[in-house]
Amino acid sequence: MKFKRKSFRPKTQQPTEPKHCYFCTTNMHSIDFKAGDMLRRFMNSEGKIYPRRKTGTCARDQRTLAEAIKRARFLALVPYTTRLRRRV
């Protein structure tokens, strides 16, 4: 019997650029839910909101951002999801 070798992923630290909160650097703490294109920057192509660790948004602004995205979704300015599952 041959044992399958576990796939090994080396734990290399990828050099990352320093993250800055977009809303703090632009001094825009009241996030406009009508600015759909701006909100799309913080979502992936499927419509999920990116986590803080990925965008570098600070905790306060991430809360405001999530609220703004949810309002924009309700007004259909940004999608809830783009993945459509069809049952045949």
Q: State the residues that interact with Zn ion by CB under 5 A.
A: 21, 23-24, 58, 61
- Paired tokens of 21: 């909160």
54 vs 82, beta carbon nearer Zn ion = 54
Q: Cβ distance 57 to 21 under 8 Å?
A: yes
In the complex, what is the shortest distance from the CB of residue 43 to Zn ion, in angstroms, rounded to a whole number?
Answer: 17
In the complex, what is the shortest distance from the CB of residue 59 to Zn ion, in angstroms, rounded to a whole number?
Answer: 8
In the complex, what is the shortest distance from the CB of residue 74 to Zn ion, in angstroms, rounded to a whole number?
Answer: 24
24 vs 77, beta carbon nearer Zn ion = 24
1 vs 59, beta carbon nearer Zn ion = 59
Over the range 3-41, which residues count as b (16 or more CB within 10 Å of their CB) and which as e? Answer: eeeeeeeeeeeeeeeeeebbbeeeeeeebebeebebbbe
